[in-house]
Amino acid sequence: MSTFIAISFSGLALGAIYFLVASGLSLIYGLMEVLNFAHGAFLTVGAYAAWVTATHLPASVSAPERFLVAVVVAVLAGAVIAGATEVALIRPLYRRPVSQILVTVGLDLVVVALLLGVFGSNSQAVPVPSWLAGATRVGPEILPNADFVALGAGAAVLLGLVWFLGHARYGLIIRAGVENRDMVAALGINVRRAFTLVFVIGGAAAGLAGILNSVVFSGALVSPTQGDSLLIFAFIVVVIGGLGSLWGSALAAVMVGMLQDYVSFYAGTGGLAQMGSISVVLLLAVVLLVRPSGLMGEAR
């Protein structure tokens, strides 16, 4: 039972990381119908920004402060590159989905190539506080502190996005602009600025996911290709949950994370090391056969 609880908790934390990546994808597609294949690049840039910050702060800065500053920088870096991408590349291509896909795929390849050229292919270690690398006893169980951080971040982002879209002024503007862009513009509201904000929020969540994934599941290491590997599972989460549904993405992220961990542990021995990933693809196939629009998506 102790092993099962530990695996379940790890699966929830993995699901939280998947949701942080998928939330930006879901938000951008749900509100703007843009499939952003450069989202993994936002994640990787955020992780590298955190590493550069954490390793270059003065020695007088304590480890917890160093890590907090690195997280803030990762979020800002993801937000900045996402906003710049929308303004420079996506904005001229609205209503041209094929061009959007080609441009975002190209951007992802360029970012990965630049990171490989500048930092090399070796993974880089991010300094983390000793508490974050430790564990906490909860009853009879000893659970990693990093998993608690991942779960807290995922829950905070989900609740924050739901509140923003339902109550904040710009959230309501974005939703109205999606329904009738011309009418909102006629009221003197800058719809373009609101749509850029959607990308910025998605990029910020991706940057946060980049550094947390490095800390929680990659041994505090960042690499140039980590965004692409996470992006695959994030797209699976978005499709299973339903394109454009935040709650659907949250539910799917938990399902995918826990399924992957269960199968990897109980069946991933010997030559079955990839069974966890295979099980996720099988889950995707079953959901699409039974409910093509996803668990909580609307038929389009």
Which ranges of the chain does DSSP label H, i.e. alpha helix?
A: 2-32, 39-56, 63-85, 97-119, 145-167, 169-179, 181-186, 191-217, 226-241, 246-267, 275-290
For the segment 250-285, what is each residue's pLDDT rounded down to a tens digit?
Answer: 999 999 999 999 998 887 665 555 788 889 999 999
Percent of the chain having pLDDT more than 90? Answer: 55
Is 200 domain-assigned? Answer: yes
Residue 258 counted as domain residue: no
Element (H, E) at 137: strand 135-138
Q: Which of 235, 205, 244, 193 is nearest to 91 (CA)?
A: 193
Q: What is the pLDDT of residue 176?
A: 72
Residue 266 is predicted with a pLDDT of 83
Long-range CB contacts (within 8 A, 24+) of 191-194: 192/91, 194/170
Q: How far apart are CA 224 and CA 278, in angstroms?
A: 24
45/114 Cα distance (integer angstroms): 10
Per-residue pLDDT at 33: 79
Please check whether residue 293 lies inside any domain of the structure. no
pLDDT in tens, 6-36: 899 999 999 999 999 999 888 888 777 788 8
Is 64 a member of any domain?
yes
What residue numbers bound the domain in which 205 lies?
Answer: 2-227
Confirm whether 246 is domain-assigned: no
Q: What is the pLDDT of residues 147-192, one digit of tens each?
A: 999 999 999 999 999 999 888 887 877 777 666 667 766 767 777 7
Residue 177 φ/ψ, nearest 5 degrees: -65, -30
Is residue 284 in some structural domain? Answer: no
pTM over 0.75: yes
Instruction: Determine how many CB atoms are found less than 10 A away from the CB of residue 189.
Output: 17
Structure tokens at 173: 């503007």
User: Is residue 62 included in any domain, yes or no?
Assistant: yes
Domain count, the chain: 1
Residue 272 to residue 280: CA distance in whole angstroms: 14
81: which 2 tokens?
């590159």
CA distance 162 to 159: 5
The per-residue pLDDT for 218 is 81
Three-state secondary-structure class, residue 143: strand
Predicted confidence (pLDDT) at residue 133 exceeds the cutoff of 90: no
Radius of gyration of the chain (CA): 19
**Digit-coded pLDDT (tens) for 93-115:** 887 888 999 999 999 999 999 99
SS3 label, residue 35: coil
Coil/strand/helix, residue 88? helix
Q: Is the pLDDT confidence value at 79 over 60? A: yes
